[in-house]
Structure 1
Amino acid sequence: MSIRLFTGPQLLAHADALRSVYVDAFCAPPWDEDEEKSAEFVGRLAADVERPGFTAAAAFTGSGDVVGFSTAWTTTAPFPTDRCYPQAAAGLGPERTVEWLCGAREIDELAVRSSARGTGLAGDLLAAVTLDAPRSWLLTSVRSPRVLSFYRREGWTQATHPSCDGKGITVFLGPRHPARTLAARPL
């Protein structure tokens, strides 16, 4: 298996394969997204590749099949207000949101085919898109304890702690993020 980095529109040549991985990863429990979300992902991807600091990593088998990917970019200032960003800002507060997240590498997607899970590939993809970015962060749903545990094992620090009802999102700071030691620990 090899991991290739992309920094712009050349990633779109693999859009169909990325969509297939997205379906495999997110249209099953615990995410249970419908296939329409995968079409939305591909639609967003066409704009995402133009974002400042865009970077992506894709994992290819020896035969050229895509088995995983991660996408990331630099978070803009002012802090975005679409998607789940308001929940992140509410959890951190306005000052920390700007100081910790704006200008940092934001991991948007991380997906691995079910057949490649447990191989270390997700960690390798995450490392590939953050290698040159000590200030890295991501949002994820608290719906999957397995995913939360994965990020912790990879050295990421949970910086927000939504209610324990299995709903909501949380912010994780990368292992080299300078603010990770300042993040509030869960009660």
Structure 2
Amino acid sequence: MSIRIFKGADLLAHTTALHSLYVDAFCAPPWNEDPEKAVEFAGRLPTNVRRPGFTAALAFTGPEVIGFATAWTTLAPFPTERCYPQAAAGLGTRHTVEWLCGSREIDELAVRSEARGTGLAGELLEAVTEDAPEGRSWLLTSVRSPRAVTFYRSQGWTQATHPSPDGKGIVVFLGPRHPARALAAEPL
């Protein structure tokens, strides 16, 4: 197994493999995404590879892609599409700008089902964040996957937002080297 880093359009040669892996990871429980989401993900790749700070880590076994992580620099003003408004609402305007803008944002992390539990996801996460500006990295995930939340905590990530106890919301995690980790609110 090897991990390769991609910083731009050369990633697009692997679009078919990334689409297949996305289906394997996210169109099954607990995410249960519609297969159209995988098509949308693959369709966003040509735009994403041009984002400032774009970085992808792909894990290979021979020629087969068995895992990937994609990330880029979050620009100011803070985005307003997808799940970003929920992140901003949870952190508030000041912390959103100070903690997230200019940081390495993890967009996707996926590992083939047969490679789960091997430590590969942690290796991919480290590979895609190791050169994050000033150690600043962050991501969003959903609390509907307690396994994902537990995984990020086990990797040293700090949960910075906390939905209501019965919520099914989005949470923000700050990376292990993010300077604002100690400032994040503890859960109730």
- TM-score interval, smaller chain: over 0.9
Q: Which residue of 2 aligns with 1:155?
A: 156
Aligned 1:1-187 pairs, distance under 5 A: 1-62=1-62, 64-133=63-132, 134-187=135-188
* 1:22-46 deviation line (CA, Å, top 9, x unaligned): 0000000010001111000001111
* Deviation of the 1:165 alpha carbon: 2.7
Deviation per CA, 1:102-121, whole angstroms, max 9, x where unpaired? 00000000000000000000
SS of alignment partner, residue 171 of structure 1:
strand
SS in 1 for 2:36: helix
Q: Structure 1 CA distance, aligned partners of 2:34 and 2:78?
A: 28
Question: Among the aligned pairs, what percent are the same residue?
Answer: 77
* SS of structure 2 residue aligned to 1:147: helix
C-alpha deviation, 1:164, in angstroms: 2.6
Q: Name the CA distance, whole Å, in 2 between partners of 1:140 and 1:59.
A: 21
Report the 3-state secondary structure (helix = DSSP H, G, I; strand = E; otherwise coil) of the residue aligned with 1:4.
strand
Runs (4+) of structure 1 exceeding 6 A deviation are none
CA RMSD, Structure 1 to Structure 2 (Å): 0.6
Counterpart-to-counterpart distance in 2, 1:166 and 1:19: 30
Unmatched 5+ stretches in structure 1: none
Shift of 1:142: 0.6
| C-alpha separation in 1, matches of 2:165 and 2:154 | 20
Structure 2 residue matching 1:12: 3-state secondary structure: helix
Amino acid of the structure 1 residue aligned with 2:141: T
Summarize deviations over 1:97-147 as a string: whole Å, max 9, x none.
Answer: 000000000000000000000000000000000001110000001101111
Q: Distance in 2 between matches of 1:48 and 1:71?
A: 9
Report SS of the residue matched to 1:76. Answer: coil
Task: Give SS of 2:18's match.
Answer: helix
SS in 2 for 1:3: strand
CA distance in 2, matches of 1:166, 1:124: 30
The CA distance in 2 between the partners of 1:7 and 1:41, in whole Å, is: 18
CA distance in 1, matches of 2:113, 2:167: 23
The Cα of 1:166 is off from its aligned counterpart by: 4.9
Cα distance between partner residues in 1 of 2:168 and 2:78? 23
d(CA) in 1 for partners of 2:86, 2:37: 20
* Partner Cα distance (2:165, 2:26) in 1: 22
Which TM-score applies when normalising by structure 1? 0.98
Length-normalised TM-score, structure 2: 0.98
- Distance, in Å, in 1 between the alignment partners of 2:146 and 2:156 is 16
